[in-house]
Every structure is written in structure tokens, then in C-alpha cells.
Amino acid sequence: MTTIDNKHRLIGNSPPMQDLLRLLERIAPTSATVMLQGESGTGKALLAEAIHQASPWAQGPFVTVDYTNIPASLMESEVFGHEAGAFTDARQRKQGLIELGSGGTVLLDEISLLPVELQAKLLGVLETRRFRRLGGTEEHEVNTRFLAATNDDLMAAVESGRFREDLYHRLNVVPMQIPPLRDREDDVLRIAEHFLLEYTDRHGVGKRGLGQSAILLLRAYAWPGNVRELRNVVERAVLMSDREIIRADDLVIDRRTYRKTPGGAGISISEDGDLTVRLPSAGMSLEHLEREVIREALRRVEGNVTKAATLLKMSRDTLRYRIQKHDLSE
Ligand SMILES: Nc1ncnc2c1ncn2[C@@H]1O[C@H](COP(=O)(O)OP(=O)(O)OP(=O)(O)O)[C@@H](O)[C@H]1O
Ligand SMILES: [Mg+2]
């Protein structure tokens, strides 16, 4: 098939992918901390797993600390663990995610969302290779490979003071940039064919192939949701059509991303998220502009308020308030 190396599930043979796989082979056996950067859906989590599998920690656990899914109030104890009695609800000792990843790999996912207060603590762990549970006095050793991932511009976060520069450098020992799918045109068809096999098999339907019109559309489309969007489009085509040869019509591509905004007062947003504003002679309020930008941010991160807040460089509470104000909640 099209996989370069059977040890992992990353499909792709385009020049940027070949570079990435070469880098993977070079750094996986080391203990270097790797920073995976790329747009949403480009394959950061998959690449992290591939690094784990090709590393000396492969027999150990692979633990993901996903900062989007941990409420800020619980973050410290989720990540570092706590001793019994460390705070009101802490009845029993609890192991944190860093401890659970001992002997394996810990992926610090969406690292830009780590609150500033905890950034210092994480830096301490990375530097001393020791940690303390919340409310504990004893120090424990960490024998873990750390990887970090983000789709945020971390350098910008450093410049605006949201992210500690020392932690940034500590994590960014080996940067790995995963290019968006639109820059890997040669890979789109390979990956689509891989997903076709996966879904015809999973849903127990007959063999499917890609027709010429489907191939043209797949290659022409900009894939703002990257490989995740491609996966969904292929699965839907397998489920919705009985045709053996898939045509362009069978691919439900989200054409709303080309849309003019409803009510349209001079604002349009392209599939790449480029915003064009023309001031109509009838005028336009900044309120209206704000509403459309917030709507676009929410669409891009599939409604995840935390991620949208990061994208818009505002606090989650501010964004929540504005979502309500503009009546944008689903
Ligand atoms: N090169 C690839 N070959 C095969 N499948 C891929 C590839 N890249 C990504 N995928 C698949 O695409 C989906 C999205 O990948 P993944 O979750 O790793 O993206 P991500 O960059 O972590 O996204 P997010 O920033 O939204 O967390 C997954 O189902 C993954 O298996
Ligand atoms: Mg991810």
C-alpha cells in the first residue's frame, strides 16, 4: 500500500511528508522533547503516537494530557496528581497523568491552553525530571518521553505574555511542523483510498473506487479541516451511495465554507478563513463585524469555546459573554 513504513499508520508520500517521516526516524529513538505544530486535523495526535511506537518507550503507556478537556480548576490535580486531603474533595491519593505515563510517552496536547500558573510547574518537572503530587512533600522521579502539540501560534502567545518563553524553548527542542493537507496535494488521493478501504471494510459494503470527477474535486478542494475532514467526507460517501465508482456528487463537501455570510452586509469569508470586508454605502456596524468573526472562529474549531477563545485572543468568559450577546449559541 501507500504507507512508507509499516510501523505506523501515517499515510503519505509527498515531499513534505517524506521530510517529516525522515525526521521521525531520526528523533523517535532519542529522549528529545518534540513540539508538533499544525492546523487542526493535520495528524498531530497520529504523529505523536508514531513517535511513541518507534521509541524506546514503545512498550510503556502512551498518555495524552488534553488541555482542552480539563477544566482549569482541576488541571493541576489531573496532571500532577494529589495526596489524600490536598483539598476538600481529595479523599484519596490520585495519580496524575504525568505519573500514569511513567515509563512511556506523555503527549501534552493543546499546550497553549495550559494556564500560566501551571506553566512554571511543568517547566520544573521537565527540568528536574521530578514532580510532587498536589499537597505532597515527597518528590517522585519521572521517566517519561514528553511530546507537545498545538495548532496555535505559540511564538505569538509568548510575545503576548500568555506563554512562558522558557517553557516554549524547553518544549521546542525539536520542532515538527505538519503542513496542511492543501500543501500535500499528492497525498490527498492516497489518504482517501486508505479511508475508502477502511470504511468499506468497517461498514461491510462492496469495493469502491474513485471516479474522475471525484478525483478532480478531492484535489481541488482546500480542506480547511485537513485529514479529519477528508476522513468524514469519505465515510459519508461510502455510507450514502451504492455506486461502485464514487463521483463528485457523492462527496458532500462543506460548501458553506465558500459562503457569503447571511444578511451579507459586505462580509465574506473564504474556505481558508480569509476575511473580506467591503463597507457598504448603507454602512455597517462593528457589532456586525464582531459577530461574523466570532461565528467563523467557532465554525473553525467545531464550536469548541476554549479553542475559539484562543483563536480570538480573548478569555473564555469574554467569549461566552459575546456569544450570548450575539445570540450565537446553538
Ligand atoms: N497522514 C495520515 N494518514 C492517515 N490518517 C491520518 C493522517 N493524518 C491524520 N489522519 C487522521 O485524521 C484524523 C485527525 O488526525 P489527528 O487527530 O491526529 O489530528 P490533530 O492534528 O491532532 O487535530 P487537532 O488539532 O484537531 O487535535 C484522525 O482520524 C487521524 O487518524
Ligand atoms: Mg489532536
Ligand nearest to the backbone CA of 108: 2
Closest residue to atom 31 of ligand 1, CA basis = 46
Cite the beta strand spans of the chain per DSSP E: 34-37, 62-66, 105-109, 130-131, 140-141, 145-150, 174-177, 209-210, 245-246, 267-269, 275-277
Helices within 113-211 (DSSP H only): 116-128, 154-159, 165-171, 185-202
Quote the pLDDT of residue 34.
Answer: 97
Quote the pLDDT of residue 8.
Answer: 62
Return the C-alpha cell found at 103: 515509563
Return the C-alpha cell found at 56: 524506546
Atom of ligand 1 nearest to the CA of 178: 21
Atom of ligand 1 nearest to the CA of 36: 21
Quote the pLDDT of residue 3.
Answer: 37
* Interacting residues of 253 by C-beta distance below 8 A, sequence separation 6+: 217, 221, 233
Quote the pLDDT of residue 46.
Answer: 96
Interval between CA 148 and ligand 1 midpoint (Å): 15
Domains of the chain: 15-177 (3.40.50.300), 181-250 (1.10.8.60), 258-325 (1.10.10.60)
Interval between CA 97 and ligand 2 midpoint (Å): 17
Interval between CA 227 and ligand 1 midpoint (Å): 6
Ligand nearest to the backbone CA of 39: 1
Quote the pLDDT of residue 305.
Answer: 87
Return the C-alpha cell found at 149: 502539540
Nearest Cα neighbor of 292 from 311, 269, 312, 270 is 269
Count of Cβ atoms closer than 10 Å to residue 225 Cβ: 22
Q: How many residues does the chain have?
A: 330
Q: Is the CB of 40 under 6 A from ligand 1?
A: yes
Return the C-alpha cell found at 79: 496532571
Helices vs. strands in the chain: H and E counts, helices first:
13, 11
Q: From first to last of the 330 residues of the chain, give the pLDDT tens digit.
A: 333 344 568 999 999 999 999 999 999 999 999 999 999 999 999 999 999 999 999 999 999 999 888 888 888 888 899 988 878 777 888 899 999 999 999 999 999 999 998 999 999 999 999 999 999 889 999 999 999 999 988 999 999 999 999 999 999 999 999 999 988 988 999 999 999 999 999 999 999 999 988 888 888 788 889 999 999 999 999 998 888 999 988 998 865 443 323 334 556 666 566 666 766 666 677 877 888 788 878 877 777 889 889 888 888 888 888 888 777 765
Cite the beta strand spans of 21-165 per DSSP E: 34-37, 62-66, 105-109, 130-131, 140-141, 145-150
Interval between CA 85 and ligand 2 midpoint (Å): 34
Return the C-alpha cell found at 313: 485572543
Q: Is the CB of 44 under 6 A from ligand 1?
A: yes
Angle between helices 316-325 and 286-300 (to 10 degrees): 120
* Interacting residues of 267 by C-beta distance below 8 A, sequence separation 6+: 260, 261, 275, 276, 277, 278, 284, 288, 289, 292
Closest residue to atom 28 of ligand 1, CA basis = 228
Interval between CA 143 and ligand 1 midpoint (Å): 27
CA distances (Å), origin 56, targets 59, 89, 174: 8, 38, 17
Atom of ligand 1 nearest to the CA of 48: 18
Query: Which residue(s) pair with 19 in the sheet?
Result: none
